[in-house]
């Protein structure tokens, strides 16, 4: 079978890393095409929506949008349940993760330090806590859909790690710590043999 090619920035983060992990965990042979930031302006007009990641297969048009890529990989390569309704439920978690990213993104670019602090505090107490509480209700454990790793778990893992790193000013690194099921999913994905093997490789 021809190789897939996944294009994303040369960083082990965010939407591109989710797709890399999903492809690797599913055992898919793919080209991990990493783009330097300096090369992005020239590449951007060639992408479907002016964004990354992009998934390509010879003879097919390129596909963008991380959730679409994750859902495809999940359905085709066994990282979503065979039960269609349960697969649909887990796909809904992908969209919920992007909702939270959008809420965080709304606080980017705030120049006034006091305003940023206020908005981030409101984010933590409002959208972040509400999202985490709702997500807890969806997780059946030890992964989101039960005993098997899915693309939803991989996305939750990357998103939770973003907060854990403490890189968002005025968002505590332990903001998700009160949510035991989310914490367990993050830990279980981190310990999964396929994920361990990915990060053991030379990046």
Q: What is the CATH number of the domain that holds 37?
A: 3.40.30.10
Q: For 127-181, how does the pLDDT look when each residue is reduced to its tens digit (9 = 90+)?
A: 999 999 999 999 998 999 999 999 999 999 999 999 999 999 999 999 999 999 9
Regarding whether 189 and 90 lie in a shared domain, the answer is: yes
Dig out the tokens for 180 from the structure. 């035991």
What share of the chain in percent tops pLDDT 90? 97
Rounded average pLDDT per 10-residue block, the chain, 203 residues: 90 96 97 97 97 96 97 98 97 98 97 97 97 97 96 98 95 96 97 97 66
Q: What is the CATH number of the domain that holds 122?
A: 1.20.1050.10
The pLDDT assigned to 202 comes to: 58
Report the number of distinct structural domains present in the chain.
Answer: 2
Per-residue burial over 9-24, b if 16 or more Cβ lie within 10 Å, else e, is beebebbbbbbbbbbb
Regarding whether 91 and 185 lie in a shared domain, the answer is: yes
The pLDDT assigned to 10 comes to: 95
The pLDDT assigned to 1 comes to: 59
Regarding whether 148 and 112 lie in a shared domain, the answer is: yes
pTM: 0.96
The pLDDT assigned to 203 comes to: 55
Regarding whether 133 and 66 lie in a shared domain, the answer is: no
Regarding whether 171 and 107 lie in a shared domain, the answer is: yes
Question: Cβ neighbours of residue 158 under 8 Å, at least 6 residues apart?
Answer: 13, 14, 17, 18, 21
Residue 29: its H or E element = none
State the residue range of the domain holding 23.
Answer: 4-78
What's the chain's average pLDDT? 96
């Amino acid at each position: 079978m021809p190789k897939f090619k996944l294009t994303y920035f040369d960083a082990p983060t965010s939407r591109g890393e989710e797709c890399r992990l999903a492809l690797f965990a599913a055992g898919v042979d793919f080209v991990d095409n990493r783009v330097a930031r300096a090369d992005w302006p020239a590449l951007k007009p060639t992408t479907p929506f002016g964004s990354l990641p992009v998934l390509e297969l010879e003879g097919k048009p390129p596909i963008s949008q991380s959730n679409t890529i994750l859902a495809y990989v999940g359905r085709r390569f066994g990282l979503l349940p065979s039960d269609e309704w349960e697969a649909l439920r887990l796909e809904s978690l992908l969209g919920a993760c992007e909702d939270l990213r959008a809420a965080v993104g709304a606080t980017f670019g705030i120049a006034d330090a006091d305003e940023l602090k206020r908005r981030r505090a409101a984010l933590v107490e409002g959208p972040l806590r509400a999202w985490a509480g709702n997500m807890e209700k969806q997780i059946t454990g030890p992964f989101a859909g039960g005993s098997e790793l899915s693309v939803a778990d991989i996305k939750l893992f990357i998103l939770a790690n973003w907060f854990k790193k403490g890189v968002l000013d005025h968002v505590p690194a332990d903001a998700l710590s009160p949510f035991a099921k989310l914490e367990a999913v993050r830990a279980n994905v981190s310990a999964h043999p396929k994920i361990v093997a990915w990060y053991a490789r030379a990046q």
